[in-house]
Every structure is written in C-alpha cells, then in structure tokens.
Amino acid sequence: MQRQACRCTFAFFVVKIFIPMNTIAATILDGNKIATQIKAEVAEEVQKLSAAGIRPGLAVILAGHNPASEIYVRNKVKSCQQLGMLSENLTPPDSVTTAELLQMVNELNSRDEIDGILVQLPLPPQVDSKKVLLAVSPEKDVDGFHPVNVGNLSTQRPGLVPCTPAGVIEILRRSNIPIEGRNAVVIGRSDIVGKPVAMLLLNNNATVTVCHSKTKNIAQIAQQADILVAAIGKAGFVTEDFIKPGAAVIDVGINKVTDRSEFERFFSGDPAREKSFAEKGSTLVGDVDPHVAAVAGAITPVPGGVGPLTIAMLMANTVKACRMRRGPERQARS
Ligand code: NAP
C-alpha cells in the first residue's frame, strides 16, 4: 500500500530498472534528466541576463595535476560554454604557494565580470586550503563553503548553497517526493555534503537525524527514515536492513569497485554492469548497496543520480551569484 502511494507521487524523471532475483523494483530517480532540465532553465536565465548586457562568469582555479580534478574542471568549463556563460580556467603549477593562490583569489574577487570562483580541491599539500577558501568573497563563493554562506544557510538567509546538497533537494522536489513532516536520516556529517544536506532538509521542515562514524545502531535509526541520504564514502554500506519499505533513498557516494568479489556482491546477474566491468576492469557503486532498490520506494542510481546535479547546481549558483551582485533587479535598487 505504502509502496503504491510512493509510486504515484514520483511523477517525473523516473524509470524502472531490472533488479536481479527480486520481483519489485524501486522507482529510479534519473539525475541526468533532472540536471538537463536545470541546465535548460539556467540557459534561459543566461539569455535574459545577456539581454540586459550581463554575461555570468565562472573562474575555476585548478592547481597542479590531478587527473580526476582535471576531468571535473573540463566538464565544468564545457557546461559553462554550453549555457552561454563566461568561463576562465586558472592552472597554477603543483609548486604553487598559499600566498600565490591568495593573490589569484583576490584578483578574481575584484573583477566585476567574474561572478563565481571555484577552487578545485584537493589543493597541493603545501597549501593552506582553508585559508584559500576563506579568501573567496562570499558573494562569489559558488561552492557555498564560506562560513558566511554556511551561516546564511543555517539562518535561512539568501546566500549560496553547496552544489551537491542543493542537488539532493532538487531531486526530491522535482520527483514530487514530499519533505515537510517526513523523517529524514542523513548518514555522514561532512561540511561539504552531510551537514548542508541536513540543514536543507531541516529548512524544508523535515525531522532530521544525522548519523556519523560514532553513531550506534545506524541501521535501526535509518529504518525510521522516509528519506534516507547516504554520504559516507563506503561502497554499499547501506543495505536492505537499513531501509523502511517505500523510503526514498538518495545515494551521494561515489566509490570505485575493482575487486571481482566485491563486484559480484553488488552486481552479480546484472548483464550491463558485467559487460562494462569486463571492458574497464572497474565500475562505480554508491554508499548504498544496489539491492536496496528491492525495498525502497525510490532510489538514485550510481552513476547517473546525484552526480549530474552537482555541475548543474554549480551553473545555477553562478547565475544566482551574478543576479544577487549585479543583476538588473540589483541595479534597479541601487
Ligand atoms: P567525508 O568528508 O569523508 O565524510 C564522510 C562522512 O561519513 C563523515 O561524516 C564520517 O563520519 C561518515 N562516516 C564514515 N564512515 C562511517 C561509518 N562507518 N558509519 C557512519 N558514518 C561514517 O566524505 P564527503 O565529502 O562527505 O563525501 C561522501 C561521499 O560522497 C564520497 O563517496 C564522495 O565521493 C561522495 N561525493 C559525491 C558528490 C557528487 O557529486 N555525487 C559530491 C561530493 C561527495 P565522521 O564525521 O564521524 O568521521
């Protein structure tokens, strides 16, 4: 009964997937479709701003050589260009100092055409990352990590919200999954994901419990969740016994599986995964065991769930930062 009620409310962006050895499959929340819709909305906003002579601009600082970071930044720059935004990529060498990065950030802070500054993490080990992040003007802090924006979020003032947590809320909202009055459990309390997700759920009137590495009886607490968010960084940590039947499960984790026996634990009998694992020697799994889809009412896949939302929300944040600092409404007020 509960499962059916959940199914009919998840009206948009849903597909069904094959779950081996189980007859009932959760609704799969398609992050790629939702991200595409958000990007289309951002592109419309960019056009409106450009009609007023304003072009939102994002600057990314990518220090040193980190292959994963290089791929992320390339995707961010590509998205900016697709949406008609200005993008600038600064690539200081591995040997860059804290002072040099601070100077770079300060220059970007003072340039009017730059609305968003993103410092790609991790920075080289000799750099004081916290000092560099703190130097980013809160008005241009499109990652939403600056203490001013953290404070704005917790006091429900206008500001910039971290991209992945904002994406989690967009998935719920655009899939018509109610948040208000629901029990939400967030596993993970990082400053980047867990805490801001918990704050956003609270701001949307959920009753929120946050679990972490010292929490006892996590499975029992998770069983109370109508909405369960996992952001831990541990492959398949959340298993079927954590799940209240019909719950919405949002899997933020991204973990690479290379071990055959671990692969089989998660994906045995899944022909598509078998094929890609055989070709690449690895596959991605979230913090949620995929078999949870047999119990949950709705679930985000990995890949293709929360991940695509992160870049979409970065684009949305850049346009928001632009509007708040130099948009037509702002100019009319001053
Ligand atoms: P993080 O900074 O390492 O934080 C992990 C959190 O999980 C910590 O709060 C930790 O608790 C908790 N934790 C670790 N082991 C636990 C356990 N056994 N039981 C309960 N809690 C446990 O990680 P993060 O940056 O939040 O990222 C989490 C995951 O999300 C990673 O897989 C990451 O790759 C992924 N991620 C994805 C996106 C995306 O775009 N989809 C974006 C960001 C991150 P303590 O605080 O007690 O140590």
**Is residue 239 domain-shared with residue 172, that is, in the same domain?**
yes
What is the Å distance from ligand 1's center to 230 Cα? 8
Same-domain pairing of 106 and 237? no
Q: Is residue 155 part of a domain?
A: no
Alpha carbons 13 and 308: distance in angstroms, whole number: 14
Beta strands (DSSP E) in 174-233 are 183-187, 207-211, 227-230
Q: Do residue 132 and residue 179 come from a single domain?
A: no
The Cα-based distances of 320 to 19, 238, 240, 276, 278 in angstroms read 40, 35, 39, 38, 43
Q: Confirm whether 12 is domain-assigned.
A: yes
Q: What is the pLDDT of residue 67?
A: 87
pLDDT at position 124, please? 96
132 with 242, same domain? Answer: no
Same domain, 297 and 177: yes
In terms of domains, do 189 and 257 share one? Answer: yes
Burial per residue of 87-107, b for 16 or more beta-carbon CB atoms within 10 angstroms, e otherwise: bbebebeeebebeebbebbee
Closest among 127, 120, 229, 122 to 172, alpha carbons compared: 229
154, part of any domain: no
Pocket of ligand 1 (CB under 6 A): 164, 187-190, 192-194, 211-215, 218, 231-234, 252-255, 306-307, 310
**Global confidence as pTM:** 0.92
- The DSSP code for 274 is H
Question: Considering only CA atoms, which residue is closest to atom 2 of ligand 1?
Answer: 190
Query: Does residue 13 sit within a domain?
Result: yes
What DSSP state is assigned to residue 52?
T
Atom index in ligand 1 nearest the CA of residue 215 equals 20
233 CA distance to ligand 1 middle (Å): 5
Strand partners, 257: 283
Based on the fold, state whether residues 16 and 70 are members of the same structural domain.
no
Q: Give domain status of residue 332, yes or no.
A: no
Q: Are residues 169 and 244 in the same domain?
A: yes
Q: What is the CATH number of the domain that holds 104?
A: 3.40.50.10860
Question: Is 41 inside any structural domain?
Answer: no
pLDDT reported for residue 56: 97
pLDDT digits (tens, 9 = 90+) for 80-133: 999 999 999 999 999 999 999 999 999 999 999 999 999 999 999 999 999 999
Is pLDDT of 19 > 80? no
Answer yes or no: do 199 and 98 share one domain.
Answer: no
1: CA distance to ligand 1 center in Å?
A: 33
One domain, residues 131 and 24? no
194 CA closest ligand 1 atom index = 26
CA end-to-end distance (rounded Å), the chain: 55
What are 244-270's pLDDT values in tens digits? 999 999 999 999 999 999 999 999 999
Task: State the Cα–Cα distance between residues 129 and 143, nearest whole angstrom.
Answer: 14
Which strand ranges, in their side-by-side order, compose the sheet holding 207-211?
Answer: 14-16, 27-29, 298-299, 248-251, 227-230, 183-187, 207-211
* Nearest residue by C-alpha to atom 47 in ligand 1: 213
> Which tokens in the block code for residue 178?
């109610």
Residue 241's domain spans which residues? Answer: 2-30+162-311
* Residue with CA closest to ligand 1 atom 4: 190
Mutating to test ligand 1, I would choose from 69, 143, 216, 252 the residue with most ligand atoms within 8 A of its C-beta, which is 252
Q: What is the CATH number of the domain that holds 281?
A: 3.40.50.720
Considering the domain architecture, whether residues 121 and 182 belong to the same structural domain is answered as no
Confidence of residue 1 (pLDDT cuts 50, 70, 90): very low
* Closest C-alpha among 293, 245, 247, 251 to residue 270: 293
Higher-confidence position of 15 and 219: 219
Best residue among 73, 232, 284, 309 to mutate for probing ligand 1's pocket (most ligand atoms within 8 Å of CB) is: 232
Cα of 329 to ligand 1 centre, how many Å? 38
Is 193 part of any domain?
A: yes
Rg of the Cα atoms in the chain: 20
Element (H, E) at 266: helix 260-267
Catalytic amino acids?
76, 120, 143
Q: Do 171 and 126 belong together in one domain?
A: no
Residue 211's beta-bridge partner residues?
187
Question: How many domains, in total, are found in the chain?
Answer: 2
Is the bond preceding residue 138 a cis peptide, omega within 30 degrees?
A: no
Position 40 in a domain: no
